[in-house]
Structure 1
Amino acid sequence: MKLMLKIFTLIIVNVLILLPCAWATPPIETLTLANNARAYLIQTKGLPIIDIEVTIDAGERYDPTNKKGLAALTAGLLSLGAQSGKRTLSEAAIADEIADLGASLSVAAGGERASLRIRSLSRADLRQRVVELGATILAHPSFEPNIVAREKQRLIAALLEAETKPEFILERRFKKAVYRDYPLGSFATPQSIEKIQVSDLKQFHQLFYRSDRMTVNLVGDLSPLEATQIAQALILQLSPTGPAIPALPLLTESPVEPATARETQIAFDAQQTHIALGMTAVPRNDPDYFPLLVGNYVLGGGGFVSRLMNEVREKRGLAYSVSSYFIPGKSNGIFQAGLQTRNDQAALALEVVRETIARFIIEGPSPADLLAAKANLSNGFPLRIDSNRKLLDNLSAITWNNLPLDTLETWTKQLELVTVEQVRLAFQKHLAMNRMQTVVVGASVTPKK
């Protein structure tokens, strides 16, 4: 009996290990729309729910130099009032309609893009109403002056509070150090928010919120015909095109720095010192994306099995956590490593992080490390697509970055093809310690002479 139990247990364990390899990845279907927009569908039948994202090429990188925050404020105001013909939708009316439908609707803008997200039951009458509401706020925001004034003050107050937090200061100063004069290197301030007027919001919306700058992504219990009708309805009220928008400046590489990395030190009265170091890196569609992904798992993305965690925490107890990661975008990206540590340990912790990264750039991973990294990433892949929302996140990333539509189907295969030499060459090509930017918020880490 015990022998049979052991055999049964081994069978179950082996099945669980092999499950990720057999995980069925749903295909991405292309839908045909008018008005120069693109639309894509992933069909799922498990739940009577649909998730929709309208991606708009209207991110913070398009903010005017003296009015940073315009893109985010424009997006945030869309769901706070709309005016379409004789129909006026107040902020309260929009919120009540969403609640009555048991749906969710939100609009936000990030560095590269803005997005409208909708979640609804797939029942035809319910989804039709929330889609109509989404289409109205996309095309006809009212930008009511009193609401604009209130939201400006709310944003200003939030910025003032955030500026008292070391992690917020670190994030902003690090991106400024890396991006420098590129649009993603500057951010909204209370002063820039105060300068934004209703006319600026209307002009930004008119220029950027049009169907030739939009992609509609849908996931859920929908047929291709139903998905096409929904996507078409969402963009129907928008202008199909508009005036040419000036091209963004190219992100050029930072000039080669001296042998020691550039540091920005910001005094802050706290028990912990916050540290970030890194540089510009690859866009998501770069051929070296997978070698960098796998290599970074070994370096600092694999939690307790990573080199950084072993050197900084396990061997020396300098920090509770330390990590590194690549953040790829459509046209560029960032490599960043970081940690928090006691003030009196900051100099040593930074030295260890730099030495560990420098050594990894030269040596790359061992064959055993590479094999373990690929296995962990591959076995964790089902958790990246185990819900409609995660599928939508993946679909959005694929369509925004112009990746092949079979990216989800080939993701684990791409991992398996990565070699030790590819990782080493990719890290040496894209990272260099003499171009790394370091930002320290807290205690000074300059070694005493």
Structure 2
Amino acid sequence: MNPFVKSLAACLFTFGFLGNVHAILPIEKLDSYKGAKAYLVQTKALPMVDIEVSIDAGDRYDPAGKSGLADMTAALMNYGARGDKGLLNEAQIADEIADLGANIGLSVGGERAILRIRSLSRKDLRDRAVQLASAMLSAPTYDSKIVEREKQRTITGLLEAETKPEFVLERRFKKSVYGNYPLADSPTVKSVSTINTNNLKEFHKQFYRGDRMIVSIVGDVDRPQANEIVQALLKQIPQSGQAITKLPELQRSPVEPLSQREIEIPFDAQQAHIAMGMTAVARNNPDYFPLLVGNYILGGGGFVSRLMSEVREKRGLAYSVFSYFAPGKDNGIFQAGLQTKNDQASVALEVMSSTIGQFIADGPTPSELIAAKANLVNGYPLRIDNNRKLLDNVSSIVWNDLPLDTMDIWTKQVEAVTLDQVNAAFKKYLAMDRMKIVVLGAKNK
């Protein structure tokens, strides 16, 4: 085994034991470069560095009829790129990553695409990893043969996924809640089939540029080294480009009750799968913390939640039941769900609905609020106890335009939540007669 890989393995093994979970490390704002913002958290716990590039190029920018384009644009970056020393094919990229003992990964969500790098912080290894990632980020080749091969793999994966109730439910739920907003659409066999090499290159050219990027760095590097990393990563990236059509506003759930709240989807499965929810708030909304604390009591606190008590503990209708708010930079949703036997679907839905409805109407008890805040505050150190979790937090903070001291004041914001704030926030953003409900399976089978 490559000695650097051995070194990395040793670091990973000890990683959880070396982090200081008590001190909150500050987020430093780095020099802007090519229009991109950049941030750093220095930590010397391990000789490693974790880097993320967030690109405003998520699924919501898929053109009509080409759902899946944003995903494929990012996914195919590590299948060929043009570097300083010429073309690199997928095998050469994979070999270089393995030789470095590094990780370079790409993912796409609704709002953004993400490139992540994890490397030993030793300069020669770090520089090689950054150089490779820079080539993938700025100059992917999108070879037509590879594009066709990966399209077929994606189509095969979609066909298989369509046999799984969880996939079908989530796709239909998104369509129901998001309505005409771009995130309502999901990749299909038809939409993926229409994507070609030119589409990928054009999407990359349009969206992968400095003024749509944020770089976050956590690890064993100082400020000058971090600025060097940012410049090396983005050296071939254009600073700006053509104007991009503004996305439509996400239509909030209407004030008036919905004429059709429940959608039933026949599906041959042993259990019924149920989802309910509606549009909610963005992460920077002032009511985020009252909703966070309230939802811990309602359905986010596992076995201590109201939903778990009513649905599982008292009635045995489901093994698990949950609720959560999923806030983003520009929008967000509330979702609750469970799985149950087909012949119990109606009862389970009624219990889940009545529990959520009662919580909206009456809110939590004082003792529930105290316990929820204590659990969230006491569990907070586990959210920042290693570099990856720190990077997750830094990334969320800078992407959502939150104050840079958010990690310092997070527990204080939780502790400051009052009963009145929880009650007001739930009444303001949620209403049972405006919830969309999707039931997949045979309810009365």
> Shorter-chain TM-score category?
over 0.9
CA distance, structure 1, for counterparts of residue 210 and residue 259 of structure 2: 48
Q: Tell me the SS of whatever aligns to 1:164.
A: coil
> How big is the shift at 1:84?
4.2
- After the TM superposition, which residues 284-433 of structure 1 pair with which residues of structure 2 at under 5 Å, given as runs? 284-433=283-432
Question: What does residue 436 of structure 1 align with?
Answer: 435
Q: Tell me the SS of whatever aligns to 1:318.
A: coil
User: Structure 2 vs 1, CA of residues 213 and 319 (structure 1 numbering), >3 Å: closer, same or farther?
Assistant: same
Question: What does residue 103 of structure 1 align with?
Answer: 102
CA distance, structure 2, for counterparts of residue 78 and residue 278 of structure 1: 35
Corresponding position: 1:192 with 2:184:
no
CA distance, structure 1, for counterparts of residue 359 and residue 338 of structure 2: 18
Question: What does residue 151 of structure 2 align with?
Answer: 152
Question: What does residue 46 of structure 2 align with?
Answer: 47
Q: Tell me the SS of whatever aligns to 1:118.
A: strand
TM-score (norm 1): 0.93
- After the TM superposition, which residues 110-259 of structure 1 pair with which residues of structure 2 at under 5 Å, given as runs? 110-256=109-255, 258=257
Q: Tell me the SS of whatever aligns to 1:264.
A: strand
Q: Tell me the SS of whatever aligns to 1:380.
A: helix
User: Structure 2 vs 1, CA of residues 258 and 120 (structure 1 numbering), >3 Å: closer, same or farther?
Assistant: same
**CA contact under 8 A between 1:323 and 1:337: conserved in structure 2?**
yes
Q: Which moved more, 1:429-438 or 1:253-262?
A: 253-262
Question: What does residue 19 of structure 1 align with?
Answer: none
CA distance, structure 1, for counterparts of residue 214 and residue 300 of structure 2: 31
**CA contact under 8 A between 1:30 and 1:41: conserved in structure 2?**
yes
- Give the partner amino acid of 1:173: R
- After the TM superposition, which residues 258-269 of structure 1 pair with which residues of structure 2 at under 5 Å, given as runs? 258=257, 262-269=261-268
**CA contact under 8 A between 1:261 and 1:435: conserved in structure 2?**
no
**CA contact under 8 A between 1:294 and 1:374: conserved in structure 2?**
yes
Once the two structures are superposed, residues 369-420 of structure 1 have per-residue CA deviations (whole angstroms, 9 ceiling, x without a partner) of 0000000000000010011001111111111101100000000000010000
CA distance, structure 1, for counterparts of residue 296 and residue 115 of structure 2: 32
Q: Tell me the SS of whatever aligns to 1:316.
A: coil
Instruction: Tell me which stretches of 4 or more aligned residues in structure 1 moved more than 6 Å.
Output: none
Once the two structures are superposed, residues 108-154 of structure 1 have per-residue CA deviations (whole angstroms, 9 ceiling, x without a partner) of 21111001100000000000001000111111110000000011001
Q: Which runs of 5+ in 2 are unaligned?
A: 1-20
CA distance, structure 2, for counterparts of residue 354 and residue 136 of structure 1: 51
CA distance, structure 2, for counterparts of residue 406 and residue 380 of structure 1: 19
CA distance, structure 2, for counterparts of residue 222 and residue 189 of structure 1: 43
> How big is the shift at 1:198?
0.7
> How big is the shift at 1:254?
2.8
Q: Which moved more, 1:331-340 or 1:85-94?
A: 85-94
User: Structure 2 vs 1, CA of residues 260 and 377 (structure 1 numbering), >3 Å: closer, same or farther?
Assistant: farther
- Give the partner amino acid of 2:404: L
**CA contact under 8 A between 2:33 and 2:230: conserved in structure 1?**
no
**CA contact under 8 A between 2:252 and 2:280: conserved in structure 1?**
no
CA distance, structure 2, for counterparts of residue 60 and residue 259 of structure 1: 27
CA distance, structure 2, for counterparts of residue 85 and residue 132 of structure 1: 8
- Give the partner amino acid of 2:105: S
**CA contact under 8 A between 1:265 and 1:441: conserved in structure 2?**
yes
> How big is the shift at 1:360?
0.4
Q: Tell me the SS of whatever aligns to 2:237.
A: coil
Once the two structures are superposed, residues 258-312 of structure 1 have per-residue CA deviations (whole angstroms, 9 ceiling, x without a partner) of 4786111111111111000000010000000000000001101111111111111
CA distance, structure 1, for counterparts of residue 259 and residue 407 of structure 2: 41
Question: What does residue 71 of structure 1 align with?
Answer: 70
**CA contact under 8 A between 1:50 and 1:119: conserved in structure 2?**
yes
CA distance, structure 2, for counterparts of residue 378 and residue 83 of structure 1: 47
Q: Which runs of 5+ in 1 are unaligned?
A: 1-21
**CA contact under 8 A between 2:37 and 2:213: conserved in structure 1?**
yes
> How big is the shift at 1:85?
6.7
User: Structure 2 vs 1, CA of residues 261 and 429 (structure 1 numbering), >3 Å: closer, same or farther?
Assistant: farther
Once the two structures are superposed, residues 200-225 of structure 1 have per-residue CA deviations (whole angstroms, 9 ceiling, x without a partner) of 11100000000110010000001011
TM-score (norm 2): 0.94
CA distance, structure 1, for counterparts of residue 351 and residue 444 of structure 2: 12
CA distance, structure 2, for counterparts of residue 98 and residue 394 of structure 1: 25
CA distance, structure 2, for counterparts of residue 204 and residue 260 of structure 1: 38
CA distance, structure 2, for counterparts of residue 66 and residue 426 of structure 1: 37
RMSD of Structure 2 on Structure 1 (CA): 1.3
CA distance, structure 1, for counterparts of residue 416 and residue 217 of structure 2: 31
- Give the partner amino acid of 1:307: R
Question: What does residue 90 of structure 2 align with?
Answer: 91
**CA contact under 8 A between 1:261 and 1:434: conserved in structure 2?**
no
CA distance, structure 2, for counterparts of residue 102 and residue 141 of structure 1: 22
Q: Tell me the SS of whatever aligns to 1:54.
A: strand
Q: Tell me the SS of whatever aligns to 1:413.
A: helix
Question: What does residue 55 of structure 2 align with?
Answer: 56
> How big is the shift at 1:167?
0.3
